[in-house]
Chain A
Amino acid sequence: MIEIVNIKKAFGDREVLKGISGRFENGNNSLIIGASGTGKSVLLKCIVGLIQPDEGDVLFDGRSLFKSSVNEVKKIRREMGMLFQGSALFDSLSVFENVRFPLDMLMAEMSDGEKNDQVMHSLERVGLTPAAHKMPAEISGGMRKRVGIARAIVMNPKYLFCDEPNSGLDPMTSIKIDELISDITDEFNMTTIVVTHDMNSVMGIGEYVMFLHEGLKEWDGDSNSILHSKSQALREFVFASKIMEKLL
């Protein structure tokens, strides 16, 4: 379980996050949604500790990310996997080496054979075994996302973070990526947080949804109750999509 406590972050005099608290349960696909520029990516980066919030804390099963010792933090980090908006694959390494990278760096005690097995297992899980020896520049955007997922899960993380996993993908591929994330979450009982502004994902895989508006948590709940929320901002966000209008 991941708990965020009163996270605040400003850049200069622009307050992006104005105090956000919430709780993301084990084995759940939690979604953070909101309009562009509301600070979803900033919040996610605060949660994983890439950005130091001005105030507040993040607790990973009770362990604080910002108040622990360096070694404690390293331990928490080993339990995290993250998929970045642009996949963030290392250009100079092949797909296989990209997925193997965390093992090489962090698992000194593992033998080469074990590492290779683990990598192949991860690639198989995302359906990319045939592309193992290609370079990132040679594969499509959707495949890059899948490599990103394979790299994120190769260490068997407890927590998985995805920043807009389906931006720039066609609807079919988007759904496949969403389902992949959702299946993996169930399979390994992970705590997954996905940042998105895609209503398809919200209705498809959202088990818990947090809606950000103007730096605050405007609404949270499960995806079924989202259509009946009283929040004006959320209704505008949801019904901006024509498909949603027709659904009702």
Chain B
Amino acid sequence: MNIIQNWGKYFLFLFSTIRNREPFRVYPSLILDEMVKIGTNSMVIVAIVSTFIGMVTCLQTADNLVSPLVPMSVIGTICRDMTLLELAPTFTCVVLAGKVGSNLAGEIGSMRITEQIDAIDVMGINSSSYLILPKIIAACIMIPALCILAAFLSLMGGYLIGEITGAISPTDFVAGIRNGFRPFNVFFALTKSFVFAFLISTISSYKGYFTLGGALEIGQASTKAVTNSVIGILIADLILAKIMI
């Protein structure tokens, strides 16, 4: 019963962000602000994580491919597919669930308990639309962009570590990346990151928006935002893999 109630509340909450919106003119600057916040604040962590993941993927694949019958370029192909299909979108979004999700829940939760959200409501402004909608839109634009960055840096990491350690030559690596490339996989990766971005931003905002109590509850809301977003991402990952591939 509780779970069903929660789902109902979540969907009503989503609906309330688009029903009785504020006039269009207020949104562009809010969305830009949020995009800057989400984008710039997460770029470094995404860059570090994806580069290292790319390097490790390349080294481990190379280590496992010892047969002289398999061309070296296969390492590049495997790195490309793993990165595009799973590592760049899913791994990046799990990291971002921790960064962006806890941030959103904390910010909105503290606005709730200090009555700032009530203050907005009393003015006759739709607080969920004013506060949450720009965050959802900004996340759905910026997180896929960060995933593209992650995919690029991850492959760059593989390329560089291959050359540095001599595990695979740059020519082989690039040849592998280009071999049998399916543009659909890029579309798939972007779709995934878009869905994950939506889940992270909506689940975290929802947890923050309905915080009750005090500072302790803000912390709990942040934690729940992160765990629930991660679970949401993994379930969505499975479903998308099933229906799209």
In the docked arrangement, what's the CA distance between A80 and B123, Å? Answer: 7
Residues of B within 8 A of A86 (CB): 114-115
Interface contact B124-A73, CB-CB below 8 Å: yes
A169 CB within 8 Å of chain B: no
0 or 1 for each of B19-62: is its CB under 8 Å from A? (1 = yes): 01011011000000000000000000000000000000000000
Does A18 reach chain B (CB closer than 8 Å)? Answer: no
| Given A105-B26, A108-B23, A108-B25, A88 contacting B118 (CB threshold 8 A) | yes
Nearest B residue (CB) for A45: B118
Say yes or no: is B119 at the interface (Cβ < 8 Å to chain A).
yes
Q: Are B124 and A84 in contact (CB under 8 A)?
A: no
User: Which residues of A lie under 8 Å from residue B122 when comparing CB positions?
Assistant: 48-50, 77, 80, 82, 161
Q: Which residues of B contact A105 (CB under 8 A)?
A: 22, 26, 123, 125, 130
- Check B118 against A106 for contact (C-beta < 8 Å): no
Q: Is the CB of A88 within 8 A of B114?
A: yes
A-B interface contact total, Cβ < 8 Å: 49
Chain A nearest CB: distance from B134 CB in Å? 13
| Interface contact B119-A74, CB-CB below 8 Å | no
Complex CA gap A74/B124 in Å reads 5
CB pair B115–A70 under 8 Å, yes or no, is: no
CB within 8 Å for A85 and B20 given contacts A50-B121, A106-B124? no
Give bound CA distance, A154 to B25, whole Å: 21
B123–A88 contact, CB under 8 A? no
Query: Which residues B88-131 have CB closer than 8 A to chain A?
Result: 114-116, 118-119, 121-125, 130
Q: Does A78 touch B at the CB level, under 8 Å? A: yes
**Does A90 belong to the interface (CB within 8 Å)?**
yes
Q: How far is the CB of A91 from chain B (nearest CB, A)?
A: 8
Inter-chain contact B123/A85, CB cutoff 8 Å: no
Shortest Cβ gap from A100 to chain B (Å): 12
Are the CB atoms of B116 and A77 closer together than 8 Å?
no
**Which residues does chain A contribute within 8 Å of B121, judged by CB atoms?**
50
Give complex CA distance A29, B119 in Å: 21
Contact with B along A7-46 (1 / 0, CB 8 A): 0000000000000000000000000000000000000010
Are A50 and B118 CB-contacts (below 8 A) given A70-B20, A77-B123?
yes
Q: In the complex, what's the smallest C-beta–C-beta distance from B114 to chain A, in angstroms?
A: 6
Does A102 sit at the interface, judged by CB under 8 A? yes
Q: What separation, in Å, do the CA atoms of A94 and B118 have in the docked complex?
A: 19
A48 to B20, CA, bound (A): 19
A84 engages B119 (CB within 8 Å): yes
- Measured CB to CB, the closest approach of chain B to A191, in angstroms, equals 15
- Cβ-closest chain B residue relative to A78: B124
Give the residues in chain B near A45, CB-CB below 8 Å.
118
Shortest Cβ gap from A169 to chain B (Å)? 17
Docked Cα-Cα span, A70 to B119, in Å, equals 18
Please tell me which one of the listed residues B20, B116, B124 contacts residue A90 in the complex, with CB atoms under 8 A apart: B116
CB distance from A119 to the nearest CB of B (A): 15
CB neighbors of B among A98-143 (8 A): 101-102, 105-106, 108
13 contacts between A and B (CB under 8 A): A49-B122, A50-B122, A70-B20, A77-B124, A78-B123, A80-B122, A82-B122, A86-B115, A102-B123, A106-B123, A108-B23, A108-B25, A161-B122
* Sample of 16 further A-B pairs with CB below 8 A, known A77-B122, A78-B124, A88-B116: A45-B118, A48-B122, A74-B124, A77-B123, A82-B122, A84-B118, A84-B119, A85-B115, A86-B115, A88-B114, A91-B114, A101-B123, A105-B22, A105-B26, A108-B23, A108-B25
Residues of A participating in the B interface, judged by any CB pair closer than 8 Å: 45, 48-50, 70, 73-74, 76-78, 80, 82, 84-86, 88-91, 101-102, 105-106, 108, 161
